[in-house]
Amino acid sequence: MRFAKLALSKTAPAKQAVAIVAILGIAAFGVTAFAQQQPATPPVEQPAPVPATPAPEAGAPATTVAPDGTVAPVEPAPVAAPVPVPVADHGAAASDHAGDEEHASGGHHELTPKGGWKHDGAFGTFDVNAMQRGFKVYKAVCSSCHGMKLLSFRNLGDVGAPFYDPRYPNPNDNPVVKKLASEFMVTKEDPDSGAMVAMPAIPADAFPSPYANATAAAVANGGAVPPDLSVIVKARNGGAGYLYSLLQGYVPPPQGLVVTPGQNYNAYFHGDTASQWIGKDPRNKPPGGFLAMAPPLQEFDIRLQRDCVEGAQGGASCDPNTFDDGKPTTIEQQAHDVAVFLAWASDPRTEARKQLGTAVIPFLFLLAILTFLSYRRIWRNVEH
């Protein structure tokens, strides 16, 4: 009876609390709707899409065009060795387990680009220029063996994507995305004959796989199936840093490590070299592992050269061994840019998610405080 009287006496504060919660709910809906709106950013100047340069046939020497117009053979670019292969010294048997964990993670810490990764952190954003350069590396180098079946071409024009343009809210209407998609061939059903034919892709199509199935991929790669790169950054421990290190980790194997034909030693691969280590001390096995993939990146790759003819972007004075924004096509730069592009491809909604969280989390914190104060006011004179 006493509890009922107290409850009735507190009807007005209870109504006030309900009104406060209702107002906060309406405010939350407005904040969420505002956060999900596309940011009114100025259009990003998009570089002209560079047509894919066909890779030279196996065994054919690489060539370069001299200023007088003659074609001369060039020496193949040496494989870069950014870091020496460390030999771990684990000491006594008491540290064997720690050494095993170290080898299982590649043997040493991954490389980090100068300045770190711009997209890391709660407020990090992707570098648009790096993503565009990374897409060019993927198209010219990676797409010959790896697909991205979970990503569509229209995703390239979404908010926060490499080729987003606020003038085209629907990425299917983005002319840059249309051009890039048309440079890939996909297999579709011919509406006239019903036969499966190859035709240029449209923004709604997914990135094609270079092989018809896993069996064909294994036959073409010595029994190894190249992984799909749609979510490769999410699927690998270390994320973008692991890919960045792996692509630069092709170094000469240390003495005592037997590399079988068809394999390539990589100092940063998450593998184990114990079975092929014939050194004196088995505890000193080198870090890394073996890959069927040969070093994919080349210093100043001819496949990434841009056209520097008179009147083109950059004019006759531009360096062909640079990206459209002037960055050199070194192995380190290629590894960085393709790692950034694949980090975005693994989570295309990263920036939209961060923008929503930035608006919602402070509101939830304020709501929690007001809810607690309302609770203290309503039940302050009630005995428990």
Q: Where are the domains positioned within the chain?
A: 1-37+349-384, 38-348
Q: Are 279 and 256 in contact (CB under 8 A)?
A: yes
Q: Residue 49: its pLDDT value, please?
A: 42
Length in residues, the chain: 384
For the chain, residues with pLDDT lower than 50 are 1-11, 33-106
Q: Residue 266 and residue 243: Cα distance in Å, rounded? A: 12
Q: Are 237 and 105 in contact (CB under 8 A)?
A: yes
E strand or H helix at 135? helix 128-140
pTM listed for this prediction: 0.71
Q: Are 182 and 201 in contact (CB under 8 A)?
A: yes
Q: Residue 313: its pLDDT value, please?
A: 60
Q: Residue 310: its pLDDT value, please?
A: 59
Q: Residue 123 and residue 58: Cα distance in Å, rounded? A: 46
Per the listing, tokens 């709707």 go with 33
Q: Residue 122 and residue 119: Cα distance in Å, rounded? A: 9
Number of Cβ within a 10 Å radius of residue 324: 18
Q: Residue 99: its pLDDT value, please?
A: 38
Amino acid making up residue 205:
D
Please tell me the CATH code under which domain 38-348 is placed.
1.10.760.10
Amino acid making up residue 290:
F
- Cα torsion 100, 87, 113, 116: sign: positive
Terminal C-alpha separation, the chain: 15
Burial of 233 (0-12, 13-18, 19+ CB in 10 A): buried
Q: Residue 213: its pLDDT value, please?
A: 94
Per the listing, tokens 């009807």 go with 11
Q: Residue 112: its pLDDT value, please?
A: 92
Q: Residue 381: its pLDDT value, please?
A: 80
Q: Are 152 and 207 in contact (CB under 8 A)?
A: yes
Q: Residue 356 and residue 34: Cα distance in Å, rounded? A: 9
Q: Residue 284: its pLDDT value, please?
A: 87
Q: Residue 81: its pLDDT value, please?
A: 40
